[in-house]
Every structure is written in structure tokens, then in C-alpha cells.
Structure 1
Amino acid sequence: MKMRDVISLGEEQVNYEAYGYSPAVRSGGFLFVSGQVGANGEGAAISDPVSQFRQAFANLGGVLEAAGCDFDDIVDITSFHVDMYTHFDVFAAVKQEIFPSRPFPNWTAIGVVNLADPDLLLEIKAIAKLP
């Protein structure tokens, strides 16, 4: 039996071949989702922070869906924030839209200097229990 089963979204195949980037990996009854950012379909960061944070969660949702999961299956999220204190309350409000009621997933928030694109403010990675 394979230790890892890669979840592919089709358009990510180029990144998989070039950089070894997997959007998510199934292993041991869990789904490990790589960091998702608030970029549009062309890969450009969305400038408005609220829209960028919502898009990051939408992109996370797309990976979850491709693996047969949804936000209710998430047990752990890690968020990486550029200029964390400037946008933290805005992020928390968007996160509350995604996880409106208890039980909330485990959450670790980390402040970082920058991300892959200088216009990105956030990256979210997650672990979900496979249904």
C-alpha cells in the first residue's frame, strides 16, 4: 500500500513536475493540504485583503473537495500572515465565516516576513480527517 496518495487538481501538474508541489496528500486516514493563497485563476494575488482571504479559503475548499472532504473535516489549520497585526482581525472575521460554530479546528497563526508573491498577505495549510 502506498504511503502517500497525491491529490491533483489538473492545473497543478506543471508545479508538481517542476517543483514537487502536491496540492494535497492522503495518508493514514488524513488529508494534508499544502498552503493555499488568495490568488485568482491566473495566479495573481487579489489586492483587497478581505477578498484575498476569502479566495485563500475558496482555494482550500477546492482542494478539500477534490479529495472528497469539506471544511467540516478539517482538524488543524496553520495560517501564515504577512504584516500579521494589520490584517489579523480581518482574517479572523473571514475565518469565522468558514467556521461559524463549535467545534472549531485546531489553529496556529504564524507571522512571516513574506510569501512567494510580494502581494500575498496569507497562506493557509490544513489537515483534514478523511470521511
Structure 2
Amino acid sequence: MKSYEPEKPETPEYFQLRPEVEKAFGYSHAVKIGNHIKISGAVSMDDQGNPTAVGDFEQQMKNCYSDLGKILKKYGCTFDNVIVENVFTTKMPLFLEHAAYRNSIYKNHFPTGSWLGVKDLALPEFMIEIELEVHKAE
């Protein structure tokens, strides 16, 4: 008869893309538990936390995906591993106008998710924030 050994609980692994900025705002950019990675919303900012591409929605969106790509790469993942994408925007008509850009990000399939129009993001210059959930198969 086999003895039963309970699985050891997974230890969360925290990752910070911009440690000083994330400490100042009070968050980690990603947390990995087992095969699941939750990535905080990416916004268009420089390494000091200053907004970039102010007033340029399309470039802000590209900057978000660029940062998200860096985090995915850190975990050996691509956008093919994304299972949930939530987009928050203060400019829904502009997001809809530029949403086709996502075809260059998600080349094989699209994740589930929501597109939410919001009144404000963390700083008034931010027009879009994108968060992801990722599943990395063994």
C-alpha cells in the first residue's frame, strides 16, 4: 500500500521589472506560483516611473506590450502562453481604433479577457494599462 504524501505548497516567486518604482508604488510586476504567472498591469513609463509617449495612445500601447514581453521572456514564455489579457483604458475609442495591433502580438490565438473603460489610471498621463495571466506548461 502506498503512503500518501501531500503535495508541498508552491512558493510564490516575485519579480520586479523596475524595483525602485514598484517599491514606491507598492507592487510586484509579476508573481509566479507553479505554472501560473500573474503580471500586473503594464503602463507606458520609463525606468524612473515617469510617463512616456504622453498623448500618443498607439505608442503607449506598444510600450505596454514591450514591457510585458520582457517579463514573459524572463519566465521563458511568449504571448502564446498568455491565457488572460485585461485591458484598462481611459480612451476606449482609441483602443478600438488601434486594437488590430494585437494581431502582431497574438500570432497563434487570442487569450480570454476583458476590455474595460475606466475614468482614471495611476497617473493622468496613462491612457492604457494591460495585465496578463500566463500558464507555462511543463
Using structure 1 for the length normalisation, give the TM-score: 0.84
Name the counterpart of 1:36. 42
> Partner letter of residue 44 of structure 1?
P
Residue 99 of structure 1 pairs with residue 106 of structure 2 = yes
> Partner letter of residue 126 of structure 1?
L
Return the alpha-carbon distance in structure 1 between the equivalents of residues 80 and 111 of structure 2.
9
Using structure 2 for the length normalisation, give the TM-score: 0.81
Counterpart selection for 2:28 from 22, 42, 54: 22
Q: Where do residues 17-96 of structure 1 align in structure 2 (5 Å cutoff)?
A: 17-42=23-48, 43-47=50-54, 48-85=56-93, 87-96=94-103
Counterpart selection for 1:124 from 121, 124, 130: 130
Higher Rg of the two aligned structures: 2
The number of residue pairs the alignment matches comes to 127
Runs of 4+ in structure 1 off by over 4 angstroms are: none
Where does structure 1 lack aligned partners over 5 or more consecutive residues?
none
Return the alpha-carbon distance in structure 1 between the equivalents of residues 79 and 67 of structure 2.
12
Q: Percent identity?
A: 28
